[in-house]
Copies of this chain bind each other. A is one copy, B any other.
Amino acid sequence: MYLENINSPADIKKLEISQLRTLADETRDALINKISKAGGHQGPNLGVVEMTVALHYVFDSPKDKIVFDVSHQCYPHKILTGRKEAFLDEAHFHDITGYTNPNESEHDMFIVGHTSTSVSLALGLAKGRDLNGRKENIIALIGDGSLSGGEALEALDYAGEYDKNLIIIVNDNDQSIAENHGGMYKTLKKLRENGGKAEDNIFKAMGLDYCYLDDGHDTDKLVALFKEAKDIDHPIVLHIHTIKGKGLPYAEENREAWHAGGPFHVEDGSPVYPFEGGENVVFNCLKELLDNNSNAIALNAATPMGLGFVQGVREEYVKRGQFIDVGIAEENAVAMAGGIARNGGTAVFGTFAPFFQRTYDQMSHDVCLNDSPATFLILSPGAYGMNSNTHIALCDIQMFAHIPNLIYLAPASNEEFTQMFRFATSQKEHPVAIRVAPNLADSGKADDTDYSVLKNKVERRGTKAAIIAVGGLLPMALEAADKVKEMTGTDITVIDPHFVSGLDEELLESLKADHSLIVTIEDGELMGGYGQNVAAFYGDSEMKVHCHGISKAFHTEFKPEELLAEHGISVSALAEEIAKAL
């Protein structure tokens, strides 16, 4: 047992090269211990165990600096840099995050959770080193899937001009989250099949030096490769072939399903908590559209499962030319959707809200400036979305609501989503984005709203006070109104705005007659959010406006209900606030 003595990279260096295989096996065991009990990113971490052991054997972290792209493959690195207890001891599983974090360890360079950033960030570290006249090694570790992202490609290109030490490790397991997409993957395949030789080498074409290693699980060869690259005086790509999910046969077999997931039984990979199924309103709507409109197409960017198009389902639509995955390339997906809409197609692009952040310019300039009637599904925005600071998306309204020509709809129920989706994909006037909050549920109330007329919906008409609740918070507002009724006897008004890209000024004007307080609630950041529009509208009137949203911070590891309650957004807090004002 070597691992028990490994508390930092210095301890690894005390081992013989021949002992590294055993250390790798022990590291993998620690990794499997945790992921089988607590879930996490399985495949990416299993695939880099040997590479990480070799990296820390050869390089001198933290003097030498390793940037992990996406950083969802950093678990072995954490195990080997003083954080092994968080993998071995269930009581300590939650001491660490699933991503690199400088607040956790001096061996972590950045907090990262989005793909395709490592080469740029490493170039920055390298340039910082140069300005200070130092000589440490700077290493970026990037997976093949992340290479297709614009930021990574821009950085590879610039690295081809840069002229000092920079080691770019391309961890090629022939897989993105789903399968890879893009022409460069044909080239990577040729390189893997021919021991790193192929007519048109994408990395050399970017001006980079290049070296290939076929067995990325052989610690001897990895150590030799890294020793050769160490202290190199120019940028080099080390293209290393690995097996995603290495060490668990079922994970090696089914790489997409084993990219990430929950606890499982190690012996056969069966889940501890089997998936219960359940309807997916996004998938149902897309399926209805694609099955009934042969000019319609769904686009995704490496997250087909986000749209419910899992393996076994999407193939039929791919064959029909109605479902495309552009790989990790959201900018391209948004612009393509705009182009499709301009040439007679009905295009829907959907991905998770944090990754839409990469498309601001494409949404504004490529699509909205041209008023191209494409549909965008912003999946899982707000407090009920992902709760790691690497993946929060509390600012989707800030990003998109102000863009001219864009209609940004915020359904409050699955029924509203369905009706909005049908509207968006049947009209040819404007780009439409739909905010798919993850806490949407069936309301039991059919929705036949004509969304070509943008109006707020008065869920309940009362007097004195009104709550305007964005999207998934409508049920909370209705409950709060019930409670106000109990407490004060007053029926207050509850409004579902339906759209957040503007105000229903007529309705707001009419409320002045018999209301003195408007309370807005939203599941995103307060600053620059929806509520402030309402406050500004009433700025010259006697109406009091209380805006509630989340404070400006990279909140993390929160429970959505608790985070909202801390910001005055809970049934009891709202009821008390309104009762007091009445």
A residues in contact (CB < 8 Å) with B: 65, 102, 109-114, 117, 120-132, 148-151, 153-161, 181-187, 199-202, 204-208, 294-297, 321-322, 324, 326-327, 329, 331-332, 335-345, 347, 354, 357-358, 360-362, 364-366, 368-370, 389-390, 395, 398-399, 401-405, 502, 525-529, 531-533, 535-536, 538-540, 544-547, 552-554
Give A188's nearest chain B residue, CB to CB.
Answer: B205
Contact of A186 among B110, B158, B160 (CB under 8 A): B160
Known contacts A120-B336, A343-B125, A545-B536; A158 and B131 CB within 8 A of each other: no
Contact of A345 among B127, B160, B357, B402 (CB under 8 A): B127
Cα distance, A404 to B389, chains bound together (Å): 11
B contact residues around A121 at 8 Å (CB):
335-336, 338-339, 342, 366
Contact of A154 among B157, B331, B340, B535 (CB under 8 A): B331
A539 touches B528 (CB 8 A): no
A528 touches B398 (CB 8 A): yes
B contact residues around A402 at 8 Å (CB):
395, 398, 525, 527-529, 552
Contact of A338 among B124, B185, B208, B294 (CB under 8 A): B124
Give A527's nearest chain B residue, CB to CB.
Answer: B402
Output the least CB separation between A177 and chain B (Å).
16
Cα distance, A369 to B112, chains bound together (Å): 8
B contact residues around A113 at 8 Å (CB):
365
B contact residues around A160 at 8 Å (CB):
182-184, 186
Contact of A110 among B102, B370, B529 (CB under 8 A): B370
B157 touches A148 (CB 8 A): yes
B contact residues around A502 at 8 Å (CB):
527, 552
Give A389's nearest chain B residue, CB to CB.
Answer: B369
Contact of A531 among B124, B150, B199, B536 (CB under 8 A): B536
A159 touches B183 (CB 8 A): yes
B contact residues around A202 at 8 Å (CB):
200, 202, 205-206
The 8 A-B residue pairs whose C-beta atoms are closest, nearest first, are A160-B183, A124-B339, A150-B150, A183-B207, A128-B343, A120-B335, A539-B545, A153-B153
13 A-B pairs besides A128-B347, A535-B538, A536-B545 with CB distance below 8 A are A102-B370, A120-B362, A121-B335, A127-B321, A157-B327, A157-B329, A158-B329, A187-B206, A357-B361, A357-B365, A528-B532, A531-B536, A535-B545
B contact residues around A369 at 8 Å (CB):
111, 389-390, 554
B contact residues around A110 at 8 Å (CB):
342, 366, 370
Contact of A150 among B154, B159, B186, B404 (CB under 8 A): B154
Pairs across A and B, CB under 8 Å, 19 listed: A124-B341, A124-B342, A124-B343, A127-B345, A128-B340, A128-B347, A131-B322, A131-B344, A132-B344, A157-B184, A157-B327, A158-B327, A184-B205, A199-B201, A200-B205, A202-B205, A358-B360, A538-B539, A540-B544
A332 touches B154 (CB 8 A): yes
Contact of A343 among B129, B335, B405, B535 (CB under 8 A): B129
B contact residues around A329 at 8 Å (CB):
154-155, 157-158
B297 touches A552 (CB 8 A): no
Give A321's nearest chain B residue, CB to CB.
Answer: B130
Output the least CB separation between A435 and chain B (Å).
15
Max count, chain B CB within 10 A of own CB: residue among A125, A339, A365, A502? A339
Cα distance, A154 to B301, chains bound together (Å): 11
Output the least CB separation between A386 and chain B (Å).
13
Output the least CB separation between A347 and chain B (Å).
7
Contact of A404 among B201, B344, B547, B554 (CB under 8 A): B554
Give A395's nearest chain B residue, CB to CB.
Answer: B402
B contact residues around A122 at 8 Å (CB):
339
Give A549's nearest chain B residue, CB to CB.
Answer: B536
Give A113's nearest chain B residue, CB to CB.
Answer: B365
Cα distance, A157 to B152, chains bound together (Å): 12
Contact of A114 among B158, B324, B332, B365 (CB under 8 A): B365
B contact residues around A124 at 8 Å (CB):
335-343, 345, 347
B535 touches A345 (CB 8 A): no
Output the least CB separation between A61 and chain B (Å).
14
A120 touches B332 (CB 8 A): yes
B128 touches A527 (CB 8 A): no
A149 touches B151 (CB 8 A): no
Output the least CB separation between A329 and chain B (Å).
4
Max count, chain B CB within 10 A of own CB: residue among A205, A324, A535? A205
B552 touches A155 (CB 8 A): no
Known contacts A161-B182, A405-B554; A131 and B294 CB within 8 A of each other: yes
Output the least CB separation between A300 and chain B (Å).
12
B184 touches A128 (CB 8 A): no
B contact residues around A547 at 8 Å (CB):
536, 539
